[in-house]
Amino acid sequence: MKELQIYNNLLQLPLFLGISKNDISLIVAHTRFNFSTIRAGKDIVKEGDQCHELFFILNGKVEIKTVSDDGSYYVTEISEGPSVIQANRLFGLHQRYTRTYKALEDCKLFSLDKKEVLRLSDQFVIFRINILNLLSMENQRYEHRPWKKVPQTLEDKITRFFEEHCIYPAGPKTFYIKMNQLALEVNDSRLDVSRALNNMQDAQRLTLYRGRIFIPALEKLLM
C-alpha cells in the first residue's frame, strides 16, 4: 500500500513524467524518499540555505518570498503542489536557495538527496531528460526577457517591473515596496508613478496599501 502511494505521488511530478511502470517500481524499491509534513506557518527552505537535496511539494499552498539584493523591497506569491523547489540550485556555481518557501497550510512533501538525483539521472534516461527539460525551459524563459517589446507608457513599465520580478506570470502577487523605490526602479518621478498606480487601481487591476501593492491576478494585468 505504501509503495502504491509513493508510485501515485511520483506520477504527479514533472521529473517522473513518461517513466514506465516497471521503472517507477524499480525507483520506488531502490530509492530513499524522505517524506515529511510541514505545518502551516513553517518555512520549508529559507533564502541562503544550502541546496543539498531536491524538495518536491506533493500538495498544499506555499508562499514564495523573493527579496531584492539590497533588501529595499520584496514580493510574495503563492504556489500549489505538485511542484519542485528551485531545481536549478542543486547544481552550478551558486548552490543556495534564493527564495524563502513557507507553508500556508499543512503541506506534504518529500526530498531526494543530491546523490540519489545523480544516480536516478544515470540509470533512467527519461529522468535525466526531464531534468534537462526543466532547466532548459527556465533558462529559455529568462533568455527571452530582454527581447520583449519596450514598454510604451509608464503603466506598461510598472507592469513589466511586476512581471519580471515574479516566478509565475499568473495568480495573486503582493509587492512590499515604497513609492519612492518603485519610481527609482522604473526611472520616473514618484508623482507620476503614484498617478499611474492610482489609474491602475481605478481600473481594478491592483489595490494600493501603505508600502504594499496587491495584484489579485497578474495574468489580467498582463493582458
- Dist CA 88 CA 135 (whole Å): 6
Closest to 54 in 3D by CA, of 118, 126, 137:
118
Q: What pLDDT is recorded for position 116?
A: 94
Total-model pTM:
0.91
Cβ–Cβ < 8 Å for 19, 27: yes
36-91 pLDDT, tens digit each: 999 999 999 999 999 999 999 999 999 999 999 999 999 999 999 889 999 999 99
Give DSSP secondary structure letters for 63-90.
EEEEE-TTSS-EEEEEEESSEES-GGGS
Q: How confident is the model at residue 4 (pLDDT cuts 50, 70, 90)?
A: low
Please count the other Cβ atoms lying within 10 Å of the Cβ belonging to residue 134: 15
- pLDDT over 90 at 3, yes or no: no
Q: How confident is the model at residue 5 (pLDDT cuts 50, 70, 90)?
A: low
CA count, 13 A, side-chain hemisphere, 83: 15
Cα–Cα distances in angstroms (integers) from residue 202 to residues 73, 198, 206, 207, 221, in the given order = 24, 6, 8, 9, 13
Q: How confident is the model at residue 163 (pLDDT cuts 50, 70, 90)?
A: very high
Q: How confident is the model at residue 179 (pLDDT cuts 50, 70, 90)?
A: very high
Q: What pLDDT is recorded for position 194?
A: 97
Closest to 143 in 3D by CA, of 154, 151, 135:
135
- Dist CA 149 CA 170 (whole Å): 20
81-119 pLDDT, tens digit each: 889 999 999 998 899 999 999 999 999 999 999 999 999
Higher pLDDT, 6 or 146: 146
